Amino acid sequence: MDFTMGESAARLRGELRRLIAEEVPADYLGAFTDDPADLAVAQRFCRVLAQRGLLCAAWPREFGGAGASVWEQTVVREEMWAHHEPRGAQYMGVNWVGPTLMRHGTPEQQGKHLPSIARGEVIWCQGFSEPDAGSDLASLRTAARPDGDGWRISGQKIWTSYATMAQWCFLLARTSNEGRKQQGLTVFLVPMSAPGIEVRPIRSMLGPHHLNEVFFDEVRVTPADVLGTVGDGWAVVQEVLAFERVGIARYARCEKLLAAAPEVLGTRWDEVPEALRARWARMLVRARRARLLAYQVVSMQSSGRVEPGDAAAYRIAVTRLDQESAAVLTELAAYVTGEDKQRRQYRRAVEDHWRYANAATVASGSIEMQKILLARALLGDRRRAGEAA
């Protein structure tokens, strides 16, 4: 099985790895730590990527991209996640906010938002989940009521990553209570500086900036802030979730940490129990499987269609890989002794991976909801096949 994607992709990987080696400290473990210098590294690196046309490589040139293929963008995505995402929170704007604006935004919205995303100058947060509407997102209660020629938004969002530093919020709110709960939802592009918005950080083991509550108290928005059609936000969000779920190449980080284990352990690799080495090998196989599932969804995206069942299958595979590889890596790390730089950095990277993996099967839609989506897709395929027969 060829995972290289050809010579141009191989050259791009080489360029990205050189840039990371030059611009990102070797002990970097992400932008959102207790050290402000880590966020500064990410912001600087985003500008470096943007100057080389690599931050939004697959975007059309008229929107600030380089017109590269989706496969080249996939290479960027994999290398970023393999190296602890030195773009910081920019992946959100690059992977799905920008593409959604291209598909549903007005020319004015595109001109206002896309250039700043392409330059790596703006951070977005996602206003979806609520205390009583997480996996069942359509049950959300944050409401936008008519107010003159616009709306007033009131409600609460939770688990909102990067809200303390974001300049804009991609917000889903209810504009009507008529019909099914999936109807009457609207997407708004809301500046986080708007009066009436309060952000309260949620302490967690992931570190600062990640999780927050966001309260909206009569926040004023205008027709210019509506993305797409009023009341048709659910269709927009379904596209968003498909792009988001494949846009985080967790398998690349898992595979890198797993593949590095024998070298880091050195002669102690022979001391690892046979059963643990067998689990390590299975995790490498599953990392390749998750990669293939991601490529399937990327191929579908490139043709303009994304099937919810395929995105769900990928999501199930990669989140389970995240957690089960974290368990294997944690056991292997117990054999990594010594305080030289390589071993110390490896132990820290494994610990960081373990912390994030704990939430993997809940974040961006729980694994239970992904199984429901996959089951519905499979049952629908069977029904259509039966009708055709």
Instruction: Indicate which residues carry an active-site annotation.
Output: 244
Contact 181, 139 (CB under 8 A): yes
Q: Are 68 and 57 in contact (CB under 8 A)?
A: yes
Radius of gyration of the chain (CA): 21
Residue 127 near residue 172, CB atoms below 8 Å: yes
What single DSSP character describes residue 93?
I
Q: Reduced to 3 states, what is the DSSP secondary structure of residue 172?
A: strand
The H or E element that residue 226 is part of is strand 226-227
Nearest to 174 by CA among 138, 147, 130: 138
Kindly report the backbone phi and psi dihedral angles of residue 298, in degrees, each rounded to the nearest multiple of 5, phi listed first.
-60, -40
| Both tokens assigned to 259 | 């593949």
Helix spans in 203-273 (H): 233-247, 250-265
3-class secondary structure, 366: coil
Long-range contacts of residues 328-332, Cβ cutoff 8 Å, at least 24 apart: 328/258, 328/276, 328/279, 328/280, 328/283, 329/257, 329/258, 329/261, 329/353, 329/354, 330/354, 331/276, 332/261, 332/265, 332/272, 332/276, 332/280
Pseudo-torsion of CA 167, 242, 229, 91, nearest 10°?
20
